[in-house]
Structure 1
Amino acid sequence: MKYKLYNAEDFLFDESFRQWVNGTSPQATAFWEQWLQENPDRADVVRQAKELAHTLENYYQDNATEARIDSELQRLMHQAAERRDETAEIPVIPLPAFSRWRWAIAASVLVILGLGIGLFIYSSDQIQEKSYAHLTQTAGDSLQEKINTSDQAMTVLLCDGSLVKLQPNSRLSYPKRFSATSRTVYLDGEGFFDVTKNPARPFLIYANQTVTKVLGTSFLVRAFEKEESVMVIVQTGRVSVYKQQDYERSTKNKGQQVQGIILTPNQQMTYNLADRQLMKALVEKPRAIAPDNVNREQFFEDTPVTKIFSQISKTYGIKIIFDEENLSACLVNLTFSNESMHEQLDVICQTIGATYEILDGQVVIHSKGCQ
């Protein structure tokens, strides 16, 4: 019998099954109760179909017209098809002739879901990543915009005293006066920010699907909408970077933990728009945050290597992880003048027979120790 091949969605297309669920036909009720006795192995599928039927009946209890339902469903199906996997060859499915009846419309939705397209219904909880244009147009405050059409950097002074060095082909939107609780700006392009410290009002930069949050520090943000990645490089202070979608969801749902990346001097974050991952690393050429330690010649005579590692860490603001007990017997005689951080680490590791690697924006020393 054909009913043996039905799945939960298929039952919704059967008129007698719908009549049984609604209790509108004694004949249908008698038939399906008898059928269940003869096919006990299909009881679970029928139960699922009945639950779907009741759920959809409640969903469609409003007074929406059939034309409105048809139009809305077709819109949602087109939208779902646009969001499907680019490799999937699933066409937009037109509404069948019997879709005027709301049960058939509901079943069509279920079939689409079964095909894997997915039905995306907008709700108050859904957060969409928004473009620079959309963000600036919908911002609550009246914004002013600076666009750098020259071939040189442009300096923008914000009302709180913060400075932005805006690079060519970049634009920045910001309010004439910041709110009492935050300082929010919008960037499309590249800018170096020197933010005035104010713990009571965090500074927020919305840039190409990311949000950078600081209290007061200096850092660079590169986020051209035409490019496939975003980069944040910290010079001084502490910076937090989030996916825009995660940040907005956490602010909407108070108390929800938001996952991001914390950056300190000489660390950088790269956000690849394709794989949607925040990646932390060291900058290619770390700069000293304590320049006095590198602008003079340094002599180390029978100096514990652990002390030199600690000094390098302080000079560049980069954490160096090592086994202090294991390296306690390692004494070195070295002289540094203008070597970079990597060059210094290379010399030290060669001297004591160690190696190092960069992991998650930190330096990790590998050594068997010294005899």
Structure 2
Amino acid sequence: MKDYQFFEFEDFLEDADFQRWIYRPTAQDTLLWNQWLASHPEKAAVVEQTRQHLLDIKGSVPVLSEDYISQKVAQIVEQAKVANDTPIKPLPVIRRFTTIWYYAAASVVLLLGLFWIYQIRLSASVRSEAPIYAQLTENATYPLLEVANTSKLPKKITLADGSTVVLYKNSRISYPEKFGGTSREVYLTGQAFFQVQKNPNKPFLVYANELVTKVLGTSFFVKAYEQDKDVQVVVRTGKVSVFAKTDKQAPQLQSSPDLGALILTPNQQAILKRTDKQLVRSLVALPVRIDLPQKLTTSFVFKQTPIAEVFAALERAYGVDIVFDETTMAHCTLTARLDDESLFKKLDWICAGTESSYEAVDGKIIITSKGCV
């Protein structure tokens, strides 16, 4: 499998192997991609975004050829490169189409045109506001160093306390040469992956747009570009606290040595809607295994296993709370092999075998069941 670590939206969109996985997935491809995403959880959002775009291109017309899909992908990428600088031009219509092909292509062209018009208007609207990153760094009470990444490759930065930051393209981060006082504060615009050295006595705070992320020692991903309508935090290991700067308790939360506020654990994310300052906690789109790498090949093989033990195994592997009525499901057992499936696919099989259902609520899995005979 090639190195996708530095791929972004346009790169995934053009990649033939990625397209094959989306349009013609094999068990081997799915296993490889699940393993890769388990090692790169910070890429889950962009992978899901690209997947949705490729599915939109294909739409409901099952006979679209690979050449046609490739052409539309190329047009999307080209428009993405010039969208902020030049007006959107109509996409050319391929001649010699049948009537069905013509209308299918016209629908795709219309969809893409509307999407990019929306993106340009959204970017222009957000850019008209004063840059929050500049305000934050100007108001800092101590001198800051700044690192900017204008290249395509991520840039690794080591801070004074030994914490590391992987800074992605078109991103900037400001931080003090040495951390003084009672906290460790950095300022981000763009996206970065943090691995923070543990220090319970000196919390680590990341200011990104209107969101503050507070940790004592963990690894997490922050995406907060000035032009984005949302700010996203995804937790890989440990616990993270997030709160909006407009929160009335923000001053106390920033100065307190405890986490407080909205707590995130592995495979959970928080998204701050910048328009109404609404902060929402949820599970990530593709939860990954958090147990040790050498245990990733451990089989999920169950033979008349009590359902409580099945759910406990999932909780250990993914770090996700599974809430169910132990009394109601006391007689439920499972016989199945669930090695390669994703967490949600595992839950689909489990619920099918126990006549139950599940939903993700506030970063947890809630199981509803009438019980088993």
- Normalising by the smaller structure, the TM-score range is 0.5 to 0.7
* Preserved CA contact (<8 Å) 1:223 1:229: yes
Counterpart of 1:340 in structure 2 is 342
Q: Count residues with an aligned counterpart.
A: 242
Counterpart of 2:235 in structure 1 is 234
Any idea what the Cα deviations from partners look like across 1:283-314, whole Å, max 9, x if unmatched? 00001111455413232111101110111011
Partner Cα distance (1:205, 1:249) in 2: 13
Cα deviation for residue 253 of structure 1 reads 11
Matches within 5 A, 1:194-233: 194-233=195-234
Cα deviation for residue 252 of structure 1 reads 9.7
Q: What code does the residue aligned with 2:323 have?
A: I
Q: Give the secondary-structure state (helix, strand or coil) at the position aligned to 2:147.
A: strand
* Preserved CA contact (<8 Å) 2:215 2:259: no
**2:331 maps to 1:329:** yes
Structure 2 residue runs without a partner (length 5+) = 1-129
* Preserved CA contact (<8 Å) 2:183 2:255: no
Counterpart of 1:349 in structure 2 is 351
Cα deviation for residue 249 of structure 1 reads 4.8
Cα deviation for residue 176 of structure 1 reads 0.1
Cα deviation for residue 138 of structure 1 reads 2.1
Counterpart of 1:145 in structure 2 is 146
Partner Cα distance (2:294, 2:356) in 1: 27
Q: What code does the residue aligned with 1:220 have?
A: F
CA-based RMSD:
2.3
Q: What code does the residue aligned with 2:342 have?
A: S
* Preserved CA contact (<8 Å) 1:243 1:260: no
* Preserved CA contact (<8 Å) 2:253 2:260: no
Partner Cα distance (2:350, 2:357) in 1: 9
Any idea what the Cα deviations from partners look like across 1:92-142, whole Å, max 9, x if unmatched? xxxxxxxxxxxxxxxxxxxxxxxxxxxxxxxxxxxxx98211211221111
Q: What code does the residue aligned with 1:365 have?
A: I
* Preserved CA contact (<8 Å) 2:253 2:259: no
CA separation of 1:304 and 1:166: change in aligned 2, threshold 3 A: same
Partner Cα distance (1:260, 1:225) in 2: 24
Counterpart of 1:185 in structure 2 is 186
Counterpart of 1:161 in structure 2 is 162
Q: Give the secondary-structure state (helix, strand or coil) at the position aligned to 1:370.
A: coil
Q: Give the secondary-structure state (helix, strand or coil) at the position aligned to 1:156.
A: strand
**2:135 maps to 1:134:** yes
Output the TM-score relative to the length of structure 2. 0.62
Q: What code does the residue aligned with 1:239 have?
A: V
CA separation of 1:252 and 1:355: change in aligned 2, threshold 3 A: closer
Q: Give the secondary-structure state (helix, strand or coil) at the position aligned to 1:310.
A: helix
Q: What code does the residue aligned with 2:358 have?
A: Y
Q: Whose radius of gyration is greater, 1 or 2?
A: 1
Partner Cα distance (1:176, 1:254) in 2: 20
* Preserved CA contact (<8 Å) 1:163 1:194: yes
Q: What code does the residue aligned with 1:364 have?
A: I
Matches within 5 A, 1:233-312: 233-246=234-247, 249-251=250-252, 260-290=261-291, 291-312=293-314
Any idea what the Cα deviations from partners look like across 1:8-29, whole Å, max 9, x if unmatched? xxxxxxxxxxxxxxxxxxxxxx
Partner Cα distance (1:285, 1:139) in 2: 37
> Which deviates more from structure 2 when the two are superposed, residues 291-300 or residues 305-314?
291-300
Output the TM-score relative to the length of structure 1. 0.62
Partner Cα distance (2:339, 2:249) in 1: 48
Counterpart of 1:65 in structure 2 is none
Partner Cα distance (1:258, 1:306) in 2: 31
Partner Cα distance (2:350, 2:193) in 1: 34
| Identity within the alignment, % | 43
CA separation of 1:249 and 1:362: change in aligned 2, threshold 3 A: closer
* Preserved CA contact (<8 Å) 1:211 1:247: no
Q: Give the secondary-structure state (helix, strand or coil) at the position aligned to 1:134.
A: helix
Partner Cα distance (1:258, 1:336) in 2: 36
Partner Cα distance (2:143, 2:285) in 1: 39
Partner Cα distance (2:149, 2:261) in 1: 30
* Preserved CA contact (<8 Å) 2:244 2:250: no
Q: Give the secondary-structure state (helix, strand or coil) at the position aligned to 1:332.
A: strand
Q: Give the secondary-structure state (helix, strand or coil) at the position aligned to 2:345.
A: helix
Counterpart of 2:27 in structure 1 is none
Give 4+ residue runs of structure 1 displaced > 6 Å after superposition: 252-255
Cα deviation for residue 332 of structure 1 reads 1.8
Counterpart of 1:75 in structure 2 is none
Partner Cα distance (2:285, 2:259) in 1: 28
Cα deviation for residue 282 of structure 1 reads 0.3
Partner Cα distance (1:296, 1:258) in 2: 33
Partner Cα distance (1:195, 1:148) in 2: 20
CA separation of 1:174 and 1:345: change in aligned 2, threshold 3 A: same
Structure 1 residue runs without a partner (length 5+) = 1-128
Q: Give the secondary-structure state (helix, strand or coil) at the position aligned to 2:246.
A: helix
Q: Give the secondary-structure state (helix, strand or coil) at the position aligned to 2:202.
A: coil
Matches within 5 A, 1:308-319: 308-319=310-321
Partner Cα distance (1:262, 1:242) in 2: 9
Counterpart of 2:3 in structure 1 is none
Partner Cα distance (1:232, 1:252) in 2: 17
